């Protein structure tokens, strides 16, 4: 079987080249061809000796994902649906802004955590993506966009692991993928511009801090264990009394950073004033003050099976006010690509009608791409 070179960080590629009897600088050249120039054809890599190119052809390839659909939003966002085989599909979304370009990446097909408000969670877990499948989303998006926008410089400046799946339940594949993103010979993204979002896999938060302290976003969604147990079932394993200290400890690996708490606003469930005050107490108790974290309030994107409703805008604003008056930087996520989200539902229908795929597959394809943190989330009003 051919090795997929997207599976390797630079260290891994150096090991691979070493096994072929090639020197380390060859790995760097190869890595730069693949990630910086978007090459997949060894013959195009003209500064590699011909015998090496021939050797590579026999043992390796650069395996792109199979693209099934692309949707362009009127606001400039682009969503890609990739077929990862066996009826599974994952998505990546590009969100352009004035000063940055953010790509949201998936880490798993489905998710085992099963959060009540998340349609990926409702689909169940199918499988982990490989390092190469995560990197391939960035590789494809970056080089597609350069061609599409006719740009030679970098288009994607930020990556958020906020697509399908729980990245910290796929840690061994995630870590090399992050290293490819950060590597100066790869995408050269700064540590603070790569965000891992987690529902709270406590031991892996600590590991990530030690191994690769990128920006951390923690999906909190509730101020107490009783409610969080219900919304984010992983809380039963890693309750708030473990989660909050692990967030504080993460900052020792990432000095001068903030932890971002994501909080999906669910009408009548977690959006009451008393719950905002309880959140303030929770973060103060954990670290003596409130200014070590930020809150990002996410308007809930409803889907029928959830049985949940989105908080009214006024309620979200009032909630944000309480947090910010307590000294916590609070933003309300701006929703982007609404029109392509709508198209996503149609897409599922489309695929089913045209191919007659099994309902399970059609359902998997009806992926809800989480509203992506576009980074410019507007400050709360009022
Ligand atoms: N598994 C990770 C990362 C993927 S989910 C995590 O849970 O953090 C990315 C973000 O999308 C999370 O904050 C999640 O709570 C949010 N999200 C999931 N479903 C949503 C929905 N229906 N509406 C709004 N946000 C949602
Ligand atoms: Fe999984 Fe995140 Fe969805 Fe929860 S919110 S089910 S952890 S993808």
* pLDDT at residue number 335: 78
Ligand 2 close to Cβ of residue 121 (< 6 A): yes
74 and 40 in a common domain: no
- Residue 72 in any domain: the answer is yes
- 55 and 187 fall within a common domain: no
Q: What's residue 334's pLDDT? A: 86
Q: What is the pLDDT of residue 370?
A: 39
Whole-number Å distance between alpha carbons of 120 and 365: 10
The pLDDT score that the predictor gives to residue 245 is 98
Distance, CA of 361 to CA of 333 (rounded, Å): 30
Beta bridge partners of 96: 101
pLDDT at 344 over 70: no
- pLDDT of 340 reads 65
CATH number, domain of 189, equals 3.20.20.70
Question: What is the distance in A from the centroid of ligand 2 to the CA of 38?
Answer: 31
Give 160 Cα–ligand 2 centroid separation in angstroms: 14
Atom of ligand 2 nearest to the CA of 121: 6
Q: Is 88 left (phi over 0), alpha (psi -120 to 50) or beta?
A: beta
Same domain, 178 and 263: yes
Q: Give the pLDDT confidence of 56-100 residue by residue, as tens digits.
A: 999 999 999 999 999 999 999 999 999 999 999 999 999 999 999
Q: Model confidence at 380, in pLDDT bands (50, 70, 90)? A: very low
Whether ligand 2 lies within 6 angstroms of the CB of 201 is answered as no
Residue 244 lies in a domain: yes
Return the pLDDT at 108. Answer: 97
Domain boundary among 61, 84, 111: 61
Residue 70 has a CB neighbour count (10 Å cut-off) of 11
Decide which of 61, 84, 106 is a domain's last residue: 61
Phi, psi of 46 (to 5 degrees): -65, -20
How many domains does the chain divide into? 2
Gap from CA of 256 to ligand 1 centroid (Å): 25
Q: Is 114 in the pocket of ligand 2 (CB under 6 A)?
A: yes
Q: Compute the distance between CA of residue 149 and CA of residue 143 in angstroms, rounded to an integer.
A: 10
Tell which of 61, 80, 103 closes a domain: 61
Residue 337 binned pLDDT confidence (cut-offs 50, 70, 90): confident
Based on the domain organization, do 187 and 97 belong to the same domain?
Answer: yes
The average pLDDT across 113-133 equals 96
3-state secondary structure of 108: strand
Is residue 101 domain-shared with residue 73, that is, in the same domain? Answer: yes
In short, whether 113's Cβ falls inside 6 Å of ligand 2 is yes
Domain with 25 in it:
3-61
């Amino acid at each position: 079987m051919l090795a997929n070179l997207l599976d390797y960080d630079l260290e891994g590629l150096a090991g691979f080249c070493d096994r072929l009897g090639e020197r380390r600088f060859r790995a760097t050249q190869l890595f730069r061809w693949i990630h910086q120039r978007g090459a997949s054809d060894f013959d195009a890599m003209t500064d590699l000796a011909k015998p090496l190119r021939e050797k590579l052809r026999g043992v390796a390839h650069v395996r792109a994902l199979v693209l099934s659909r692309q949707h362009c939003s009127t606001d400039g966002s682009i969503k890609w649906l990739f077929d990862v085989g066996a009826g599974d599909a994952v998505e990546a979304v590009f969100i352009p802004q004035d000063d940055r370009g953010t790509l949201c990446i998936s880490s798993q097909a489905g998710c085992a955590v099963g959060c009540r408000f998340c349609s990926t969670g409702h689909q169940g877990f199918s499988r982990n993506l490989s390092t190469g499948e995560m990197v391939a989303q960035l590789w494809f998006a970056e080089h597609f966009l350069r061609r599409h926008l006719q740009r030679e410089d970098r288009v994607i400046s930020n990556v958020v692991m906020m697509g399908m799946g729980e990245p910290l339940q796929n840690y061994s594949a995630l870590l090399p993928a992050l290293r490819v993103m950060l590597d100066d010979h790869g995408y050269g993204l700064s540590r603070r511009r790569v965000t891992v979002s987690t529902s709270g896999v406590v031991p892996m938060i600590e590991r990530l801090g030690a191994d690769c302290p990128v920006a951390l976003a923690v999906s909190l969604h509730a101020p107490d264990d009783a409610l969080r147990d219900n919304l984010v079932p992983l809380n039963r394993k890693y309750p708030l009394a473990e989660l909050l200290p692990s967030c504080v400890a993460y900052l020792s690996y990432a000095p001068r950073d903030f932890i971002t708490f994501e909080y999906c606003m669910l009408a009548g469930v977690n959006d009451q004033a008393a719950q905002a005050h309880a959140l303030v107490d929770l973060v103060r108790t954990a670290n003596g003050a409130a200014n070590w974290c930020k809150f990002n309030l996410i308007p809930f994107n409803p889907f029928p099976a959830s049985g949940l409703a989105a908080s009214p805008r006024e309620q979200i604003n009032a909630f944000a006010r309480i947090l910010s008056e307590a000294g916590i930087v609070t933003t309300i996520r701006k929703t982007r690509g609404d029109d392509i989200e709508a198209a996503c539902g149609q897409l599922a229908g489309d695929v089913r009608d045209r191919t007659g795929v099994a309902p399970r597959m059609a359902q998997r394809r009806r992926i809800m791409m989480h509203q992506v943190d576009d980074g410019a989330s507007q400050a709360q009003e009022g």
